Amino acid sequence: MLLLAGLSYLFFMLGNGILSLTNPDEVFYAQTAKEMIQHHSWMTPYLFGAPQFEKPVLLFWLLRIGFIIFGVSSFAARFFPALFATLGVLTVYRLGLFGFKNEKKAFIAGLILMSCGFYVGMARTVFTDMIFSVWIFLSLTTFFWGYTRIENKGRGILFCFVFSALAVLTKGPLGLLIPFLTIGIFLFIRKDLRFVFSKYSVWGILIFIAISIPWYIFMIGRYRSGFINEFFYNDHIRRIIEAEHFSNDRWYFYPLSIIAVTFPWSLYVITSLFYLVKRLGPNKSTPAIYTFLISWICAGLLIFEPAHSKLTSYILPLFPALSLACADFIYEAPLFKNRGRSLVIVSLLTVIILFLIPIILIFLLPRFAVYFSDLKPIYIFSLAFLTLAFLILFFVIRMRLITVTYLTALVIPLFLLLVPFIRNDIEPYLSSKYACQYLLKNYTINQPILCSKPFVRGVRYYTDSDVVIVNAFGKNFFSPHPIPFFDSDQKVRDFLGQRTVTYAVLRKSSLEDILRPAGKNFKINTLKVIGNEYIVKIESQIK
């Protein structure tokens, strides 16, 4: 466990302040915590000066604590997601020990989870999903601990409810639905539903209510239909019946997402799921851990697949089950002829993919050279990546497949090593920090800043100024913010006509939305272009 904890620091937390908070989501959460501090509020989240009801409060408590400890910074905002990611790895390790009773297999499971590209990405960004998912991990792990060790039944059930309640405080009712649907499917398959009918479940329900419900009662009591309509209908029921991102609303979105986001373990995961399903036998003949993992994956897909709003981050709670199935396959495969052959084939195919990445990168680099001040770090990275791929191939040929596993876990850290060297080139495209610094340093801002929709949260966070959105003929946020939203030429023209000077941070398309209605009545001057953000000064010529 100590080795996994130490590696987790390197994978999740080291250098977490190198990049500024990014648009549009990281600044959303960080700004909410900042405004809670400004309003001296621990119960009501605020955004743009008004109560915001999109997310429950627990993440914002953690962000405030991070700001108290480290000051308001990108590292402070990302501290708790990284810390919880570490806790998630250690939890998977413990679940592997409970289920497989094999320390090496449990370690491999923790290493696979730790080195999944998407898991690392979520550990290093400010979202609810990592913290929410780890509460789910803990809820299901403590239940399984109590189920498989009857002397711990009471504590296992009680802790299951505690962690589920904390998940509900982090993201909402899914914190109850995911673990208890998983448990229900598991106990149904094993014909053991009576396990939960005990005094411990009654106490667990009471504890769940005591932890999770008071904040919701407070918010409903204070804000009534405003909170109910936004939180329960708009952010939960509406996401089931209406797609927030229409291109994601496909039946194959989650299956393809699982393949993509588990890189570099994608092919291992696909193969391991095939063998996991083959493990399933009648009644209780299948070892409990395999039935539990299948139930976990099925529950997640049953919950998320029918909903029209689909995001990759929603399936993060499934990662422990995928990692454990993958570790079981890698460890067990050499003991069986067919599985061993499958493992070798999967390893060779993965090596081919790893070889292709730097080759494609070097081939495409001339097309994108204009975005980088120095290509040397990228060429060095490509050479290092090729070296790693050759090492993995060498050990595949030598049939040292556990060593192959350890080397494959280094793929994502290699990408992380590149970030400090290209930070100044990529950050202007990810964050509004540089644009806001330029604006505040060179101009006096005493009017609302006109922003493109993707930049409005970042501009608010980095300037603390009032903001308005221009998105001509476009749509507002899924949960509209309490700030002016200009979706027509006339609204833009009226806004600009009310002030002598307006400063704006815009995308190129939004700049065109300004030029069209402005006509000869306004003088528009592009002050600077930083990344994909146009910093613009608009002067009214109306007398």
DSSP 427-449: HHHH-SHHHHHHHHHHS---SPE
pLDDT at 3: 93
| Stated pTM of the model | 0.95
Distance of CA 270 to the CA centre of its chain: 22
Q: Which of 156, 159, 146, 182 is nearest to 292 (CA)?
A: 182
Residue 282: which pLDDT band, with cuts at 50, 70 and 90? Answer: low
Q: Give the number of C-alpha atoms closer than 13 A to the C-alpha of residue 280, restricted to the C-beta side.
A: 13
Protein fold of 433-540: Translation Initiation Factor IF3 (3.30.110)
Residue 336: which pLDDT band, with cuts at 50, 70 and 90? Answer: confident
pLDDT at 283: 60
Q: Domain spans of the chain?
A: 2-80+117-263+281-317, 338-430, 433-540
Above pLDDT 70, what percent of the chain?
99
Per-residue pLDDT at 357 exceeds 80: yes
Q: 72: helix, coil or strand? A: coil
Per-residue pLDDT at 245 exceeds 70: yes
Q: Decide: residue 188, CB within 10 A, 0-12 exposed, 13-18 middle, 19+ buried.
A: exposed
pLDDT higher at 218 or 508: 218
Residue 128: which pLDDT band, with cuts at 50, 70 and 90? Answer: very high
pLDDT at 543: 58
Per-residue pLDDT at 329 exceeds 90: yes
Average pLDDT over residues 252-257: 94
Residue 296 near residue 95, CB atoms below 8 Å: no
Average pLDDT over residues 471-491: 87
Q: Which residue has the tokens 């501090």?
A: 37
Among 33-42, 66-75, 210-219, 517-526, the range scoring the smallest mean pLDDT is 517-526
Per-residue pLDDT at 42 exceeds 80: yes
pLDDT at 474: 80
Beta-carbon contacts of residue 530 (< 8 Å; ≥ 6 apart): 428, 434, 435, 438
Q: Which residue has the tokens 């306004």?
A: 522
pLDDT at 367: 84
Above pLDDT 90, what percent of the chain?
82
- Strands 522-530, 533-540: pairing is antiparallel
Average pLDDT over residues 281-293: 83
pLDDT at 229: 94
pLDDT at 243: 83
Average pLDDT over residues 322-343: 90
Mean pLDDT over the full length of the chain: 93
